[in-house]
């Protein structure tokens, strides 16, 4: 029964999330802490922190971790919790994947259509603004520390500027992330 | 023709090494598929990005689905999705089991204090690179700026902004005709 509910909940979460994993978080939260009491709000916050700090899509990470913890909390064995985790992440992507496949097939058939072309010419410009908005929304004290003459804030600004410039010069993002992490590890340990 | 294992491997690298979610993955996907492998044009990549943002679901998985399908059909899409999420899922499962011992490690926290501003910069930088391939000039730069401000300052949903662009593009086509 719990597994069926997990499947249904995450199917809904996947279908009604627009705007990527960060938008998904609010939906998962209301579903698993309010509607079903699978997790305490405190547990959910912990899960969120881990999901954002580990590699991979935030929506997948949150779903996987939530599925695992919810089943474990209900008194099942760890191997069943692993199944719960796979079920949650599988059902969260099921409907979006089907819809995306249909959309791409449709668009490939309408290529060269004047209306579709015009829509995408405008959409390409708007999408650039959407990414800018994502970056602007991350300019927070969580990422940079509180503004002021503190080590964290000044170091964060320097890292931001350095990574920005190096990224424009096509230095590998993976290298930049690892280097920034090492700089943080050394600087904050001194 | 692109091989399934190549697709899997490309998305495996991207999924495994990106911290910070879908938006942080976009520049990696762009570099890997457009610049390094030359599997598709920047315009096609942007089309898929617009589509991925207007559809429900996890952004990174939507990208993997669409890009994988464009390159190698249905199985290509499955290869890309599998590559994209296999390591994150295994990693988070491991963490879920070990989290209590790991949570307050001061060195882990310091490492991430350095990573977070870098992640923001990695999202901001492609804005300028993508602006070129989206043919944004002085007469059209108000479009992305207005979109970003509406979302950032006025909390307008990105869905609404995308829907407005669809309607706008459609009407523009009608007028021109």
ipTM of the complex: 0.73
**Residue B149 pLDDT > 80:** yes
- In this structure, the answer to whether residues A149 and A62 fall within a common structural domain is no
> Which residues does residue B19 pair with via DSSP β-bridges, in sequence order?
A55
Dist. CA B42–CA B38, nearest whole Å: 9
Q: What is the pLDDT of residue A141?
A: 79
Dist. CA B126–CA A176, nearest whole Å: 14
- In this structure, the answer to whether residues A92 and A180 fall within a common structural domain is no
- In this structure, the answer to whether residues A8 and A65 fall within a common structural domain is yes
Q: Which two tokens stand for residue B101?
A: 């011992």
Domain end marker among A50, A81, A105:
A105
Window 101-160 of A: residues touching B by CB (8 A cutoff) are 101, 103-105, 107-108, 114-115, 117-139, 142-145, 152, 155-157, 159-160
- State the residue range of the domain holding A24: 2-105
Q: What is the pLDDT of residue A122?
A: 85
Q: What is the pLDDT of residue B104?
A: 67
Is there a domain that residue A55 lies in? yes
Least CB-CB distance to B61: which of A96, A124, A131?
A96
Could you tell me the mean pLDDT of each successive run of 10 residues in chain A, 190 residues long? 92 76 69 84 74 80 90 90 95 95 90 81 82 79 84 92 89 81 91
Q: Which residue of B has its CA nearest to A183?
A: B114
What distances in angstroms separate CA B6 from CA A30, B33, B71, one per listed residue? 39, 11, 11
Contacts of B49 in chain A (CB under 8 A): 127
Dist. CA A21–CA A39, nearest whole Å: 19
Q: What is the pLDDT of residue A86?
A: 95
Q: What is the pLDDT of residue B102?
A: 63
Is there a domain that residue A111 lies in? no
Q: What is the pLDDT of residue A22?
A: 58
DSSP characters over B114-126:
HHHHHHHHHHHHH
Is there a domain that residue A127 lies in? no
Is there a domain that residue A113 lies in? no
Q: What is the pLDDT of residue B41?
A: 94
Average pLDDT over residues B135-162: 84
Q: Which two tokens stand for residue B54?
A: 């207007």
Contacts of A16 in chain B (CB under 8 A): 56
> Which residues does residue A55 pair with via DSSP β-bridges, in sequence order?
B19
Total of domains in chain A: 2
% of chain B exceeding 90 in pLDDT: 37
- In this structure, the answer to whether residues A19 and A99 fall within a common structural domain is yes
Interface probe for B, chosen from A38, A79, A107, A132 (most Cβ of B below 10 Å), is: A132
- In this structure, the answer to whether residues A89 and A162 fall within a common structural domain is no
Is there a domain that residue A114 lies in? no
Average pLDDT over residues B147-176: 83
Domain end marker among A59, A88, A105:
A105
Rounded to two decimals, the pTM is 0.74
Dist. CA B39–CA A73, nearest whole Å: 45
Contacts of B112 in chain A (CB under 8 A): 53, 181, 184
CA distance A143 to chain B (A): 5
- In this structure, the answer to whether residues A29 and A92 fall within a common structural domain is yes
What are φ and ψ of residue A36, in 5° steps?
A: -120, -15
- In this structure, the answer to whether residues A143 and A98 fall within a common structural domain is no
When the pLDDT of each residue in chain B is averaged and rounded to a whole number, the result is: 86
What are φ and ψ of residue B18, in 5° steps?
A: -105, 120
Instruction: With CB atoms and an 8 Å threshold, state whether B165 touches A122.
Output: yes
Cβ of A83 under 8 Å from any chain B Cβ? no
Domain end marker among A105, A125, A159:
A105
Q: What is the pLDDT of residue B103?
A: 56
Q: Which of A88, A70, A103, A83 is nearest to A11 (CA)?
A: A88
pLDDT digits (tens, 9 = 90+) for B59-118: 899 999 999 999 999 999 999 999 999 999 999 999 888 865 665 678 877 887 888 888
Instruction: With CB atoms and an 8 Å threshold, state whether B115 touches A180.
Output: yes
Is there a domain that residue A118 lies in? no
What distances in angstroms separate CA B147 from CA A104, B55, B120, one per listed residue? 24, 18, 19
8-state DSSP, A57? -
- In this structure, the answer to whether residues A72 and A144 fall within a common structural domain is no
- In this structure, the answer to whether residues A100 and A142 fall within a common structural domain is no
- In this structure, the answer to whether residues A74 and A24 fall within a common structural domain is yes
């Amino acid at each position: 029964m719990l597994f069926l509910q997990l499947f249904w909940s995450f199917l809904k979460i996947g279908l009604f999330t627009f705007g990527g994993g960060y938008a998904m978080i609010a939906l998962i939260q209301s579903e698993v802490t309010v509607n079903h009491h699978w997790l305490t709000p405190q547990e959910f916050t912990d899960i969120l922190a881990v999901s954002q700090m580990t590699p991979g899509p935030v929506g997948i990470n949150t779903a996987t971790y939530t599925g695992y913890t919810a089943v474990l909390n209900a008194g099942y064995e760890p191997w069943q919790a692993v199944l719960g985790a796979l079920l949650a992440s599988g059902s969260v992507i099921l409907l979006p994947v089907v819809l995306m496949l249909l959309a791409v097939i449709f668009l490939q058939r309408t290529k060269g259509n004047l209306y579709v072309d015009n829509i995408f010419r405008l959409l390409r410009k708007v999408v650039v603004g959407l990414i800018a908005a994502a970056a602007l929304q991350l300019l927070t004290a969580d990422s940079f520390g509180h503004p002021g003459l503190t080590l964290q804030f000044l170091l964060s600004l320097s890292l931001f500027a350095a990574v920005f410039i190096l990224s424009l010069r096509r230095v590998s993002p993976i290298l930049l992330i690892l280097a920034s992490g090492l700089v943080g590890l050394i600087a904050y340990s001194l | 023709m692109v091989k399934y294992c190549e697709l899997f491997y490309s998305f495996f690298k991207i999924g495994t090494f990106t911290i910070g979610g879908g938006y942080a993955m976009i520049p990696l996907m762009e570099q890997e598929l457009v610049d390094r492998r030359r599997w598709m044009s920047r315009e096609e990549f942007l089309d898929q990005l617009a589509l991925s943002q207007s559809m429900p679901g996890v952004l990174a998985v939507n990208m993997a689905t669409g890009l994988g399908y464009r390159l190698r059909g249905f199985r290509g899409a499955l290869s890309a999705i599998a590559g994209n999420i296999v390591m994150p899922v295994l990693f988070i499962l491991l963490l879920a089991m070990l989290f209590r011992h790991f949570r307050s490690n001061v060195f882990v926290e310091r490492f991430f204090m350095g990573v977070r501003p870098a992640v923001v910069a990695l999202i901001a930088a492609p804005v300028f690179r993508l602006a070129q391939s989206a043919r944004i000039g002085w007469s059209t730069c108000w479009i992305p700026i207005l979109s970003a401000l509406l979302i950032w300052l006025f909390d307008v949903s990105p869905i609404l902004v995308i829907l407005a662009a669809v309607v706008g593009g459609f009407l523009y086509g009608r007028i021109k005709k």
